[in-house]
Amino acid sequence: MKRDLAGKETEIKQLQKTIKNLQSFISATEEEKSKLIASLRAASETRRHEIAELQEREQTLLDDKDNQLISLEMLRKEQEKRHEMALRDKDRQIEKLSTKLGCIESQLITELSEKGYKIWRT
């Protein structure tokens, strides 16, 4: 019986040692798990910040592109307006010159007629 009791005590000690080892292993595993979770959270937070920053940059680029397109469109319209104004100015100049030419032609015809030349108008 003493031998059985000694065997049981040895078995109890081994089981207690195994339990202690398992508890240490569980504790270490929990610590590693906590570290991994913290690392994952940090990486996730970093990733969120990076994505937000990229989205902000993308929006800035899109806004800049929109502004450039608007500026180009305004410039195009301004150039078109200037071109139309220049064409109208040229038309006015042509009209004035045509009127002057008509007056000069009439004066010339009148003067030549007064001098006795016969002029035929075309």
Per-residue pLDDT of 80-113, as tens digits, reads 999 999 999 999 999 999 999 999 998 988 888 8
- Which carries the bigger pLDDT value, residue 23 or residue 122? 23
Grade residue 121 by pLDDT with cuts at 50, 70 and 90.
low
CA 96/CA 27 separation, integer angstroms: 102
- Which carries the bigger pLDDT value, residue 116 or residue 44? 44
Which pTM does this prediction carry? 0.50
CA 80/CA 86 separation, integer angstroms: 10
Per the CB < 8 A criterion, the answer to whether 109 and 119 are in contact is: yes
Grade residue 115 by pLDDT with cuts at 50, 70 and 90.
confident
For residue 122, pLDDT over 70 is answered with no
CA 112/CA 108 separation, integer angstroms: 6
